[in-house]
Chain A
Amino acid sequence: MRPEYLLSLRQGLDGMPDGVCYSKENGEFVFLNKTMKKIMRAAFDSGVNDAMVFEKLDYIGLNSGCRIEKNGGGVLLILQDGSAWNIKTGKITADGVVYNECIAYNVTEPYGKSLELKKRNAHLTAVNEKIREYSKEMDSMIRDRELLDAKIRIHDDVGRALLSLRSYLYRQDKDRESLVKLWRMTISMLRRETVADVSDDRMEALSEAARAVDVTLHYDGEIPNDRLIKEISASAIRECLTNTVKHAGGNNVYISTSLKNGEFAIKIKNDGRKPDKPIEETGGLHTLRRSVERYGGKMTVAWKRGFELTVILQIS
């Protein structure tokens, strides 16, 4: 190549916003443009004379304030001044000689935007987490509102009863029977208004349901006060209760629970007929297995020595 072309090529490469470096296979510099010189001065000690330095970024010492970040297949070099450079290395062959090629693309602007985006995403994640937590609390708030509405309705009924009493006292055609009925209803509601609402207890609802179908639930051990564990345990007991009545003709369901090494286990048996073949997991049992496994738990159904359902859940 003619010297004037070489000069204009060098000037052209020097004017590039990206860093360009070519070296021999042993790391000896062949060409280094101005941008690459600046980058190397900022990143490494002044005495760098090995063009392969970019291939050793993982373990080579960088000047203070500089760092690297792995980004997919490439490496990002972030300098003390905040500029970011995407480093690509490779080999090229010219006139049968193999050279190392290293190009540092200036990605300061997109890198800054990606940082901003990350920050924004972190903020959004935190906000969404708050909404999720808030949503969990919401049901009890809604319950409170419903309770208040119901109380208002009762007090409206009391008002109605009082008006009826007044009308009764002034009227000639005294309909005593309907007035008494109205007052009985009102008093009954007022009495119940003071009764504590224990209806959130699924276990109590299960025991009542079992009694209604002539089955007694026998508990051995505690069920922790954890919403998920209570929910899955209640579903498991309900399934076994249904199977006891429907298939086994039993009258007792035995529920034993244990809590150790961060695991909760619930085992449920009945006193009914033993199954004569493996249990097919359809309907309720199938749904139960899906819930158990969705939360990382395990479920087994034994049948040879009598129906026995075991569910193991991790304590969060």
Chain B
Amino acid sequence: MSKVKVMIVDDQAMSRHLFELYVQNSERYELAFSLPSASVAEVYFLKHSVDLILMDILMNDGCNGLDAAKRIKERYPSVKIIAVTSMPEHSWIERAKKIGVDSFWYKETEQETILDVMDRTMAGESVYPDSPPTVMLGLAKSSEFTERELEVLRIITTGATNGAVAEELGISENTVKAHVRSMLEKTGYQSRTELAIKARVIGITIK
């Protein structure tokens, strides 16, 4: 039986090499390509075929693995993709599902090994965690925030004003203020700035 051809896309050399080792030491998989950026992943498909991609999401060069996954799935729907990340960003699981990414794996916290997830994915299963890992933001667990609060927080971390947040989400500025106030109460943080910076550091919201 021929081995499954794997493409690894991860901009972090250490993490990429770890994946390479897992693949190279497995009897079921062979390493086809290992790339440091999702921005060029599609180029390889012009002349090569790949069965499975391990795609990191947050790339240092500004590109996003989920964007690349979307383009690849549109053109090569039979290629299986596993999104991998260490960020607890809440929206990524839903976005990956919407794009058609086959499975999702958290680098640091999953009990299951990446090889298990690869096996199950290649067997036709879609392996997704129920939720992102729970992290603490101040006094609050990440699971305590509402979807809307996280949406507001995601935009605030880019340095947007309340007015800009309101415009982007199509809600009033007073509603934005109410969400910020509620998050400050939950976290115990003193200011909107502290909330934005801590949220970005922890990676609960990344835009």
Contacts and interface: CB of A to CB of B under 8 A. Distances in A.
Interface of A: 124-125, 127-135, 138-143, 146-147, 149-151, 153-154, 181, 185, 188-189, 192-193, 195, 197-202, 204-206, 208-210, 212-214, 227, 231, 234-235, 238, 241-242, 245-246
A42 B161 CA distance: 40
Interface stretch (B34-42, B95-103, B122-130, B136-144): B34-42
Contact of A189 (B18, B42, B43, B86): B18
B15 interface: yes
B186 to A, nearest CB: 19
B43 A192 contact: no
A201 B40 CA distance: 12
Interface string B13-54: 111111001000100000001011101101110111000000
Given A134-B197, A189-B21, A234 B13 contact: no
Contact of B158 (A127, A135, A245): A135
B47 A124 contact: no
A238 B158 contact: no
B33 A212 contact: yes
B116 interface: no
B39 A234 contact: yes
A238 B43 contact: yes
Contacts of B25: 181, 185
B21 A149 contact: no
A242 B12 contact: no
Contacts of B157: 131, 135
A33 to B, nearest CB: 41
Given A134-B200, A142-B87, A142-B203, A245 B46 contact: yes
Given A149-B86, A154-B18, A238-B40, 15 more contacts: A134-B197, A135-B159, A142-B203, A143-B60, A153-B18, A185-B25, A199-B37, A204-B36, A205-B36, A205-B37, A209-B44, A213-B43, A213-B48, A242-B42, A245-B46
A124 B203 CA distance: 23
Contact of B17 (A132, A192, A234): A192
17 contacts: A128-B160, A130-B159, A131-B156, A135-B200, A138-B200, A146-B15, A149-B107, A150-B14, A150-B15, A188-B21, A199-B11, A199-B60, A201-B36, A204-B36, A209-B44, A227-B62, A242-B43
A-B pairs, top 5 by smallest CB distance, nearest first, are A132-B159, A199-B36, A150-B14, A209-B40, A131-B159
B64 to A, nearest CB: 11
B39 A202 contact: yes
A133 B107 CA distance: 28
Contact of A200 (B11, B18, B46, B159): B11
Interface in B127-182: 156-161
B108 interface: yes
Contacts of A227: 62
Given A127-B193, A128-B160, A195-B13, A205 B60 contact: no
A197 B13 CA distance: 6
B115 interface: no
Contact of B193 (A130, A181, A195, A238): A130
A138 B201 contact: yes
A193 B14 contact: yes
With most chain B CB atoms within 10 A of its CB, the pick from A129, A208, A210, A227 is: A208
Nearest to B43: A209
A150 B39 contact: no
A235 B39 contact: yes
B47 A199 contact: no
A204 B108 CA distance: 28
B36 A149 contact: no
Contacts of B48: 212-213
Contact of B108 (A139, A149, A151, A201): A149
Contact of A142 (B58, B108, B159): B58
Given A142-B87, A142-B203, A146-B86, A231 B12 contact: no
B16 A185 contact: no
A285 B70 CA distance: 17
A254 to B, nearest CB: 17
Contacts of B192: 127
A208 B156 CA distance: 37
A222 to B, nearest CB: 18
B37 A146 contact: no
Contacts of A138: 200-201
Contacts of A124: 161
B196 interface: yes
Contacts of A246: 46
Contacts of B107: 146, 149
